Structure 1
Amino acid sequence: MPSKRTARIGALTVAAVCSTVSAVVLTTPAQADTVHIHDIQGTTRTSPLAGTKVTDVPGIVTGVRTYGSSKGFWYQDPTPDADPATSEGVFVFTSSAPKVAVGDSVTVTGTVSEYVPGGTSTGNQSVTEVTKPTVTVVSSGNPVPAATVVDAKSVPDDYAPAGDTAAGGSVNALTLQPAQYALDHYESLEGMNVQVADARVVTATDPYTELWVTVKPHENATRRGGTVYGSYTSQNTGRIQIQSLGATADFPTANVGDKLTGVTAGPLDYNQFGGYTLVANQLGTLQKGGLERETTRKQARGELAVATYNVENLDPGDATFAAHASAIVNNLNAPDIVSLEEIQDNNGATDDGTVAADRTVNKLIDAIVAAGGPKYDWRSIDPVNDQDGGEPGGNIRQVFLFNPARVSFTDRAGGDSTTAVGVTKVRGKAQLTASPGRIDPANTAWKSSRKPLAGEFVFRGHTVFVIANHLNSKGGDQGLTSQYQPPTRSSEVQRHAQATVVNAFVDEILKTQKNADVIALGDMNDFEFSGTAKILEGDGELWSAIKSLPKSQRYTYDYQGNAQVLDQILVSPSIRKGCDLEYDSVHINSEFSDQISDHDPQVLRFRP
């Protein structure tokens, strides 16, 4: 399990859940007589001098970090060598606030180390550092080495080389090719003073005082200013994280589509929360792009509107009920059925055995009425205490909201937290043995994860089967900037097993009634092009309706500069073949710094 620390690499000291941080010392050759920073950095990701003590290595201080758990400074050799693979800058870890200033000419004596942010288990690359330093200030007020420009011309389009199979897929020992691969280019600048100019924001400012920009404005761009992650080989090389060495209050509060005009410059760092990061001494001026929250249209009288919305650990103590209610009423135009994910129990994260969530749900329903919406009814099944993952004590689950003036729920007794719902045939039609019911809750695929909730609804005389899902999260997967290329997505194993169970249940309904209207929706925690989606879709039992949108509009979430799909609504053939199917990813959260959830809701409209 991840541990907790109280300092994050950034301009804000906060409590953040992360993995244990460790330093790794590697076996190295003997020290050369005269050592410069480019000798320390070498031509691969790990220093040829790791584990060696170096003496009086010269350079100019380019940045000083006095906060967090990684205090120290960056310095750079003003007389570089001719090899583009060797960085001329390096971080000096002092552990306490360093006693140097930008512009100081210094010599450093210390031990070269390779530090892995988050620990080796993360698969992250390491940062070359000088530790246990003795620092001598030779002079002050010197010109800082000019910042290397990072832009669309300098960053290659290919993302990373394939890892060395003999080293388990690691790229650490491969000679850098900065003109060929984006990750090699960034690594060749590790610790150096770099700059971006007039960079568009592609992930909004987060609570940790960081944002993401792109130096490639045309790379897989959305019409709203983001950058779409559309395949495992479209990692988007122009993305870079921005933090600041200045005051937290001075950091810009930006949304997607805003721009940092002018120059943003500072040392290039690497951290576990996004990889290569420009830690700015100089921030560009924020130019607002005027992004507005979207509103979907109202369903017609004969259209059934079905939505999914992850409300991010909602419990009665939260202050977001009115905002969520307004989103459902005004931005989603009060869908007939809403699958809610991450509804917590009545006392949230308090772990005292409480599993009921009626206070949470009814508080939301009352807020919806207060916002001018319908009086929704609801159905759900309480989980077994602490068995469904999520925040400890929170007992998150899926909940159906439905507008009884538009749609009815078919209640059929027998569904509980541990009883599996089945499918029977009654008068030639498919019917659930329990409604609501949970799909195969004892299956090991659902260990420490949310079990799917199935229910029967009737709209204008037509039965519609709806399955609400919240599949296993991506926690534990290696990041795109991992030392292992391609990165390992370990969380897929359980998610694929879950998708197999859901598809089998849908297949059972369709074998019982070929033309049944079935919808499987929710937070699938995976992309529309993923193996998970392919398993859910099976041999045509389901189809992910977000694929009806242009590729530039397929996203429900924004992570590390990549707009991507996590939430999906999948439909059976009888729904897909209707020419009136309409899908909308309603962007009200993921692109904004003041989001009330990290997910955008999705709405499907069709005529049963």
Structure 2
Amino acid sequence: MPTRPSDPRPRSLRRPAALGSLVAGALAAGLLAAPQPANAEGLRIHDIQGTTRVSPLAGRQVSGVPGVVTAVRAFGSARGFWLQDTHPDRNDATSEGIFVFTGSTTPAVAVGDAVTVSGTVAEYYPGGEKAGLQSVTQLTRATWTVRSSGNALPAPVKLRPSQIPDRYAPDAHGGSIEKLPLRPGSYALDRYESLEGMRVSVQDAPVVGATSEHKDLWVTAEPRHNRTARGGTLYGSYRDPNAGRVKVASLIPFAQRPFPVANVGDELTGTTAGPLDYDNFGGYTLQATELGKLAGHGLKRETTRKQRGDELSVATYNVENLSPRTPQAKFDRLAAALVTNLASPDIVALEEVQDDNGTTDDGTVDAGQTLKKLKDAIKAAGGPAYEARQINPVNGQDGGQPGGNIRTAFLFNPARVSFTDTPGGDSTTAVRAVRAGGKAALTASPGRIDPGNAAWANSRKPLVGQFTFRGERVFVVANHFNSKGGDQGLDSRFQPPARSSEVQRNQQAKAVNAFVKQLLAADRQANVIVAGDLNDYQFSSALKTLTAGKVLTDQVGRLPRGERYGYVYQGNSQVLDHILTSSHVRRVDYDIVHVNAEFADQASDHDPQVLRWKP
């Protein structure tokens, strides 16, 4: 998933080609003389913001714009202050606030100063214009005059369910919504845009995204909407992205007020208030000048039950870029989770296992030391003496962090289950399903599914292994489909947003589906378990492709709705990891074990999951 630096990147300027309808309106109202001067005077913030996402005055000079300073950003390379008009117009579509950008220079203003500002109107696209996000209207190359100090601030607009429309964004059939008139009473994204730069607040806000290393968290202004069993916000369909989610950052110096360390289900009690910003790390962000008090609700890490003697347990766990260079503390935490929280599964499909020197890009591809270090940690935690199976990738061909050569791998407990080692599996040879001894078998175990298929370009190849449990053959496929990198965000200016990465996932799902069909053609009663990080939702086209022909059942769909998640991104509790089973694998007990995704302190950003099955 996307990563980010500690501070916002320098702001770049974009200039629309022409003025919009607001200038014509200003001329008609007598605010501007005709012909319009190069340096526009007499305008107010709502005239600059206009009734669309892009200012009708972008690229123009304005003078003497009045307002009160409501907040100052005095750190990073995107310093400046927020200015808000204390005499708003009557149009809900026009914002009364704006950011005055001063670059790396701390502005010489204080909250409560009444100022008049002159500068250039500009549109800043977080992450660059090609990133597809919305723009922020701002004033640059600004000068200002302080008229008075200590003035009262405008009351914040309270974000609450009645303020947030059910519909998330207008439908532009994949096109830009920038030039559409804002309808804040109809669309949530329009509501937020109409408040850009203004003071807003949330009251007694539930935390739906834990505090990150960048000192921010996510709350919801719709506390009752799509709640999970543990206090998060469930992302259950493309139609409903949970419009109440808002990121909270802080403008208060951490030495003065440390940022709260919150887990999902906690609450910021009282009022959290500040200007509404927008960035490329989460969209609309409340930059708090006032932070509510954290009320911890004591969220606990889950522990699943132990498998019975006649049950096979199969787990999947994305261990997030694990290598021998990873701190020992992370190995110990992963091991403790596998032993205690997952009750020492018989088989574990691992994702994001890096090679033996991590991101050093020197041609190393073996991961023996990485797996040994994890196995040793598991044994030290009181777990079984696991054995491992994996296939080294071709250097630099499986994506992930450059030099890391991530791959999927198996751990298994030889005291409970046996692995059928069949030679012939390597990084470029495709494994095939055959019939042997009246049952399905593999031409190589472990083997890779169709590694030459273009579907796996710069992506992890599925690993399949043949196991035996209590006399039953079991085929496990470990997967890590391509990431969502390159997709447009839910809050994109293109609506609905393009999900370009799913094209490759659909191709990957088709390849795995075809292989499962091979196994079932060899033996229609073959026991097949497909597990791993599929990087897509249970309602996605990729999962529909993977289960096509009813050859597999996605166990996520059998959980109670409020428990269908194992990953939290931008305040949305969602599904990326899955365990699927063939039709002969019946009456299973499936559990997503919540130990990471909802917590500020994580060993991985994914929750593991486990399936128990009695043959």
- TM class by smaller structure: over 0.9
Residue 184, structure 1, aligned to residue 190, structure 2:
yes
Q: How many residues align?
A: 591
1:106 to 88, 97, 115: 115
Give 2:12's aligned residue.
22
> Within the alignment, does 1:116 sit opposite 2:116 as a pair?
no
Tell me the distance in 1 between the aligned counterparts of 2:229 and 2:11: 39
Alpha-carbon distance in structure 1 between the residues aligned to 2:398 and 2:118: 52
Match in the other structure for 2:466? 456
Which whole-Å CA distance do the structure 1 matches of 2:437 and 2:341 have between them?
40
Displacement of 1:21 after TM fit? Answer: 5.9
Aligned to 1:226: 232
> Which residue is equivalent to 2:252?
246
Task: Flag the 1:588–1:6 CA change in 2: closer, same or farther, 3 A.
Answer: closer
Match of 1:376 in 2: 386
Residues of 2 paired with 1:243 and 1:105: CA distance? 25
1:283 equivalent in structure 2 = 291
Question: Does 1:361 find its partner at 2:371?
Answer: yes
CA contact (8 A) 1:345 1:395 kept: yes
Q: Which residue of 2 aligns with 1:8?
A: 7
Letter in 2 for 1:488: A
SS at match of 1:574: coil
Aligned to 2:273: 265
Deviations 1:273-331 (A, max 9, x none): 11000000000000001000000000011111000000000111212011100000000
Alignment-derived partner of residue 57 in structure 1: 65
Which residue number in structure 1 is paired with residue 53 of structure 2?
45
How far the C-alpha of 1:7 sits from its partner, in A, is: 4.8
- Change in Cα spacing, 1:133 to 1:7, as seen in structure 2 (3 Å) is farther
Deviation sequence 1:427-483 (CA, Å, 0-9, x none)? 321110000000111111111100000110000000000110000000111101000
SS at match of 1:24: coil
**Residue correspondence of structure 1 range 273-422 to structure 2 within 5 A:** 273-319=281-327, 320-422=330-432
The alpha-carbon deviation at position 153 of structure 1 amounts to: 1.5
Q: Residues 46-89 of structure 1, C-alpha deviation per residue, up to 9 Å, x if partnerless?
A: 11111111011000000101112211110000000000000000
Note the 1:436-455 alignment, pairs <5 A: 436-455=446-465
- After alignment, is 434-443 or 420-429 more displaced? 420-429
CA separation in 1, counterparts of 2:530 and 2:590? 14
Q: Could you say what secondary structure the match of 1:187 adopts?
A: helix
| Preserved CA contact (<8 Å) 1:306 1:335 | yes
Contact 1:7 1:69 in 2 (8 A): no
Task: Identify unmatched segments of 5+ residues in structure 2.
Answer: 20-35
How far apart in 2 are the matches of 1:232 and 1:366? 42
> How do 1:514-525 residues align onto structure 2 when only pairs under 5 Å count?
514-525=524-535
String of CA shifts for 1:397-422, please: whole Å, max 9, x gaps: 11100000000000000000111111
Give the drift of 1:551.
Answer: 1.3
Larger CA deviation: 279-288 vs 316-325: 316-325
- Displacement of 1:426 in angstroms is 1.2
Asked if the contact 1:23/1:119 (under 8 Å) is kept, the reply is no
CA contact (8 A) 1:194 1:267 kept: yes
Output one character per residue of 1:349-404: Cα deviation in whole Å (capped at 9) or x when no partner.
11111111111101111111111110001100011111100001111111100000
Q: 2:169 aligned to 140, 160, 174, which one?
A: 160
Partners of 2:485 and 2:561 lie apart in 1 by: 26
- Provide Cα deviations, 1:81-120, integer angstroms capped at 9, x if missing partner: 0000000000011112111111011111011011100011
**Structure 1, residues 315-348: CA drift from partner, whole Å, max 9, x if none?**
1121201110000000000000000100111111
Cα distance between partner residues in 2 of 1:235 and 1:440: 35
Question: SS at the partner of 1:509?
Answer: helix
Identity of aligned residues (%): 60
The counterpart of 2:202, out of the listed 196, 201, 205, is 196
How many angstroms does 1:34 deviate by? 1.8
- CA drift at 1:8: 2.2
Partner of 1:217: 223
Distance 1:162 1:381, change over 3 A: same
Return the letter of the residue paired with 1:502: V
Q: Secondary structure at the match of 2:515?
A: helix
Q: 1:438 to 1:5 in 2, by over 3 A?
A: closer
Partner residue of 1:80 out of 88, 105, 111: 88
Give the whole-Å Cα distance in 1 for the aligned partners of 2:592 and 2:254. 33
Candidates 597, 603, 606, aligned match of 2:610: 603
TM-score, length basis structure 2: 0.95
Is the 2:41–2:64 Cα contact (8 Å) retained in structure 1? no
Residue from 583, 591, 599 that aligns with 1:592: 599
Q: Does 1:479 align with 2:489?
A: yes
> 2:548 aligned with 1:538, yes or no?
yes
Q: Distance in 2 between matches of 1:476 and 1:122?
A: 8
| Aligned AA (1:75) | L
Partner amino acid for 1:157?
D
Letter matched to residue 274 of structure 2? G
Shift of 1:23: 2.2
In the aligned structure 2, how far is the partner of 1:440 from the partner of 1:68?
Answer: 48
* Structure 2 residue matching 1:510: 3-state secondary structure: helix
Matches of 1:5 and 1:434, distance apart in 2:
41
Alignment partner, residue 13 of structure 1: none
Counterpart contact for 1:524–1:568, Cα < 8 Å: yes
Unaligned runs of 5+ in 1: 10-17
Check conservation: 2:320, 2:604, Cα contact below 8 A.
Answer: yes
SS of residue matched to 1:323 = helix
- In the aligned structure 2, how far is the partner of 1:532 from the partner of 1:487? 17
2-side partners of 1:112 and 1:572: how far apart?
Answer: 59
Q: 1:71 to 1:37 in 2, by over 3 A?
A: same
Cα distance in 1 for partners of 2:437, 2:353 equals 36
> Which amino acid in 2 is paired with 1:128?
T
Q: Distance in 2 between matches of 1:69 and 1:429?
A: 64
1:497-536 aligned within 5 A: 497-536=507-546
Instruction: Report SS of the residue matched to 1:199.
Output: strand
For 1:365, give the aligned amino acid: K
Q: Is the 8 A contact 2:346 2:417 kept in 1?
A: yes
